[in-house]
Each structure stands twice: as structure tokens, then as C-alpha cells.
Amino acid sequence: MSNADSKQRFFFSDCDIRGEILRLEASLAPILQAREYPLSVQSVLSEAMAAVVLLASTLKFEGRLSLQAQGSGAVTLLLAEATHDGQIRGLAKYDETQFDAADTNDSQPSLTDLLGTEGVMAITIRPLHGKQYQGVVPLDADSLAACIEHYFSQSEQLKTRIWLTGGNGRAAGLLLQQLPNQVSTPDENADIWQNIETLANTLTMEELLDLPNEEVLHRLFHEQTVQLADAQSLRFGCTCSRDKVSRTLASLGAAELQSILDELGEASINCDFCGQTEVFDAVDLAQIIHELSDQ
């Protein structure tokens, strides 16, 4: 058992540090299968999915958190979303013509190899209630994990480290975060943090993918007392619906819809996230136009 499709929080009893560990597999399949992604795009998208779950786990909120990386390399967009209750969805856009060269490498290309050196990453928090928040950092590191650590250093006072891995239809992630000083003094916490970080750096990405959480934590931190909280399950979930598509169509206005009706006879809208197609035939379109003209 390797705790697939769940995340689990853990705490160190003797210092002010917490962590989160997660693995994705079945929940990742609909995301990776929605398009015929090159292998290196699959890997970086898988990492982005693990990252967005870790980011969401650091917040107390109800809503949706998204990570959007835009670049001008072979990959032009990475979009990953997670909700507070463990639903994930995501997609990548890439330029096939640029792609062959980037994908023939034996090893995984770096983040800047894939997205170019001018990219930016936006982290957006959309609470169900309350104000939206967005933080933006440049994609100026070789790995997604390093860019996200940069984001944390900008937006949070709490030291945060992240390890991410993705490939072969699976992804895994580990996060360590310093908490405000409660159990130990600032000096003690700083020493322990350095020690814990050094230990975590010895973890191989194979171990992170393959071993049960208890074993990963025992291998790394057996000199510490670590408490594991209950695991929370993670699953694929898309928020698209016929209702939403209908509202999107209505927002085009009666005149535009009438010209779609006249020219095409129907509107067929494909969801980029889950591949679901909603077809609005002539009768459906006429109904929306009728409702718009009634308003």
C-alpha cells in the first residue's frame, strides 16, 4: 500500500514544523488521458498537480486554488487546480512543432527547458466566500518546486520546502513548513529546521513515490517524534456542467447566438479539463435566444 490518491499531514512533537505528504495515481489518469501529452509534459503536469494539492494544504480555506504557469517554450501553459476538499483537475498546452527536440532527451527536461526563461507562475486562491488573492512569481528556476518555494518566500513569513516528482502516471510530493514558535524557542527551531531539511534532502524521488507514508517519515525522521493525521482522499473532479456552458453561450448575446444558429445550426463546446462535450442543437440555441429576448 503506498497511500495512492491521498494526502496526509504530519507534525513534529518537539518543534514547530509541520509537513504534508501526498501521492496521486488514479486521480491523475483523467487529466493525463485528456490529451496525447508528450512524456515530459505528462511529468511536469503531474508535478504541477502534486504542487497545487500541497499549496492548498497550507491554507485554511474553502474554495479553489489554482497554479497557472505560462511560458513561451515548447510548453505554453500549465494549469492545475485543487479544492479544499481534495478535488483536482488540470491541463497543459504545448506547441507540438517545438516539441520533438525537447522530448527526445533521456532525462526529464528542466522547467525552463520546457516553458522558456521568460515564464511566470500565478497562484490564485478563490475562496467560496471572501476576496480572491493572487501571487505571481517568475519561472526562473530549473524546477517547479524551486519556483513554488520562491512564491512562499514572497508571500509567507514561514519557511517552506517542497519536493515534487511526477512520471509514469504517478506523482508525489512532500512539504515541510515552519510554524510560528510555540513548542520551541526561535533558536531551537532554526537548528531543528536545518536538521530536518538536511534529512529530507536525502529522500529519493523513487522512495517518495513508492513507500508508504509511515515508512518515508520513519526513514527520514526516526530521531524525531512524528504524528501523522488522518489521510484525506484526493480525486479528479471537474466543475464544468451543461448549465455553465449554457450561461457562457447566453453571455455571447442574442445576435451572436443567432449567427451561430444560422451558420452552424448548433454549438458544440468541449471542456478543456475533462474532455466532456456539450452539444446545444438548434432547438437549445433558439431557447437561449428566446430567453435572452424576454429579459
Residues that bind Zn ion (CB under 5 A): 238, 240, 271, 273-274, 276
Cβ proximity to Zn ion: between 245 and 261 the closer is 245
Cβ proximity to Zn ion: between 29 and 231 the closer is 29
What CA dihedral angle connects 18, 22, 27 and 31, to 10 degrees? 90
Cβ proximity to Zn ion: between 224 and 276 the closer is 276
- Contact in structure between 24 and 4 (CB atoms under 8 Å): yes
Q: How far is the CB of 134 from Zn ion (least distance, A)?
A: 23
Q: How far is the CB of 277 from Zn ion (least distance, A)?
A: 10
Cβ proximity to Zn ion: between 30 and 109 the closer is 30
Q: How far is the CB of 89 from Zn ion (least distance, A)?
A: 7
Q: How far is the CB of 109 from Zn ion (least distance, A)?
A: 29
Q: How far is the CB of 190 from Zn ion (least distance, A)?
A: 45
Cβ proximity to Zn ion: between 269 and 292 the closer is 269
Cβ proximity to Zn ion: between 242 and 290 the closer is 242
Q: How far is the CB of 273 from Zn ion (least distance, A)?
A: 4
Three-state secondary structure string covering the chain: CCCCCEEEEEEECCCCEEEEEEEECCCCHHHHHCCCCCHHHHHHHHHHHHHHHHHHHCCCCCEEEEEEEECCCCEEEEEEEEECCCEEEEEEEECHHHHHHHHCCCCCCCHHHHHCCCCEEEEEEEECCCCCEEEEEECCCCCHHHHHHHHHHHHCCCCEEEEEEEECCEEEEEEEEECCCCCCCHHHHHHHHHHHHHHHCCCCHHHHHHCCHHHHHHHHHCCCCEEECCCEECEECCCCCHHHHHHHHHHCCHHHHHHHHHHHCCEEEECCCCCCEEEECHHHHHHHHHHHHHC
Q: How far is the CB of 239 from Zn ion (least distance, A)?
A: 7
> Which one, of 149, 151, 49, 62, lies nearest residue 90 by Cα?
49
Cβ proximity to Zn ion: between 208 and 240 the closer is 240
